[in-house]
Structure 1
Amino acid sequence: PFQVIMIPLFVLVKEFGWIDSYWGLTIPLIFSPYGTFLLRQFFKTIPLELEDAAKIDGCSWFRIYWNIMLPLSKPAMATLGIFVFMWSWNNFLWPLLIVSSLEMKTLPLGLAYFLGQYTIYWNLLMVGATIALVPVLVIFFFAQRYFIEGITLTGLKG
């Protein structure tokens, strides 16, 4: 869970001088153990014969990665991109730690302002939550073709 790496990550971001900046909000959330595991599992499913054929054709390691592995990994990259975007967009705890100025507050932090001590502005909270959902849906519909491509490629065995 994120709470395990939260304090060391905060210290690292503070040493880089990224407190209350876009760098501090985005860079630490891009790299995750989940992404490493997902891409490792995906690359293990790619047949080694493709790599061997490229070596026989005289391709360098970079060219094998750039021309063969990277295009085949579009579905996994799209999946990882959507998950990282959703986690970053909906994250409450990390921006609460990193951001101090009002201009840098994220949407989940802004939605918390509608929760008072004795009252909750349900109408404004629901409108804000609906608005917060729109970018996630747009990203999902944009990357949906990569999901379908991944399902199609997975079904082809032989």
Structure 2
Amino acid sequence: MTVKNIERIRRGVITVLMFAVSVMFLLPFIWMLSASFKIEADVFTYPIQWIPTKWHIIENYKEVWVGKFPFYKYYWNTVKVTVLTTATSACVSALAAYGFSKINFAASKYLFLIVLATYMIPHQAILVPQFILYRSIGFFDSHLGLIFLSSFSVLGTFMLRQFFMGVHNEYMESAKIDGAGHWRIFWKIAFPLVRPAVATYAILRFIWTWNDYQNPLIFLRTDNLYTIQLAMQKFTTINGEFYSLIMAAAVSAILPLLLVFIVGQKSVIEGIALGGVKG
């Protein structure tokens, strides 16, 4: 047997193993999706009915979206908070990363170390000071407060700084000779070169914010302001015996994450490749 054939067999075995592992990870989601289309009596039948015998597509999802506990209201709250937080955080992190990597000012390295050191402080340790501060300035129990909480990211600044450092300074010097300022250099030269990295961070921030349960739990009190994570907990409490409805609500909650990943996976791959080349 030649070395080429051995390599093909090895790759085939690895492919089969990876496929089996991926199916195992997908099984809970497949069951959840199947249960969301079933009548309540068929949810826990044994053996498992992966394909429902009686479909309740319209009934279950209609009850979730426009029933006694309408999901559309909490969906809109989550979309608003997540999109605005992602856009603000990506912009702020990119500007800070550019400043720390391409602008020479006094004590810039020490200031960056101080910013980086704050990442070692657990978020739970500053919840009480944040709570007191936000209540005193009027940001408590508001979507604006939630947006500001996640708009400034040490991890995003550090991550994007590494990519900005890979941009050659010759580009900046040429633009300065032509009379361009830092603002124009950032938007016209530096930002387009690291756009895949910014897109990667934006996707990660979107997922983190969409799945965030702790901050809305602490900083929101009004029911009409709840995000999808708090709504899921309340919906489960109200409909604890109706698992088909709970599964329909869960499927509805994770669909945006799947869509964002499917649409943005090319940018994630480009960002990883860009980091590998510049590293």
Same fold (TM over 0.5): yes
Select which of 50, 55, 58 maps to 2:176: 55
Q: Report how many residues are paired.
A: 155
Query: Relative to 1, partners in 2 of residues 1:87 and 1:151: Cα closer, same or farther, differing over 3 Å?
Result: closer
Shift of 1:150: 3.2
2:228 counterpart of 1:97: no
User: Which ranges of structure 2 fall in alignment gaps of 5 or more residues?
Assistant: 1-121
2:129 counterpart of 1:8: yes
Q: What corresponds to 1:113 in structure 2?
A: 234
Select which of 166, 170, 194 maps to 1:45: 166
Shift of 1:89: 1.0
Q: Tell me the amino acid that sits aligned with residue 12 of structure 1.
A: L
Shift of 1:128: 2.1
Q: Distance in 1 between matches of 2:162 and 2:126?
A: 23
Give TM-score scaled by structure 1 length. 0.82
Q: What corresponds to 1:88 in structure 2?
A: 209
Shift of 1:105: 1.3
Shift of 1:100: 0.9
Q: Distance in 2 between matches of 1:34 and 1:111?
A: 28
Shift of 1:74: 1.4
Query: Relative to 1, partners in 2 of residues 1:37 and 1:14: Cα closer, same or farther, differing over 3 Å?
Result: same
2:185 counterpart of 1:64: yes
Shift of 1:155: 6.5
Q: Distance in 2 between matches of 1:24 and 1:123?
A: 34
Q: Distance in 2 between matches of 1:55 and 1:20?
A: 46
Q: Distance in 2 between matches of 1:40 and 1:155?
A: 15
The DSSP-based 3-state class of the residue aligned with 1:30 is coil
Query: Relative to 1, partners in 2 of residues 1:69 and 1:81: Cα closer, same or farther, differing over 3 Å?
Result: same
Shift of 1:49: 2.2
Per-residue CA shift, 1:67-109, capped at 9, x if unaligned? 1111122112212211221111111111011111111111111
Q: What corresponds to 1:20 in structure 2?
A: 141
Root mean square deviation of aligned Cα: 2.4
51-60 vs 145-154, which moves further: 145-154
Shift of 1:114: 4.9
Q: Tell me the amino acid that sits aligned with residue 43 of structure 1.
A: F
The DSSP-based 3-state class of the residue aligned with 1:45 is coil
Q: What corresponds to 2:77 in structure 1?
A: none
Q: Distance in 2 between matches of 1:156 and 1:39?
A: 15
Percent identity of paired positions between Structure 1 and Structure 2:
40
Query: Relative to 1, partners in 2 of residues 1:12 and 1:53: Cα closer, same or farther, differing over 3 Å?
Result: same
User: Which ranges of structure 1 fall in alignment gaps of 5 or more residues?
Assistant: none
Q: Which runs of 4+ in 1 moved over 6 A?
A: none
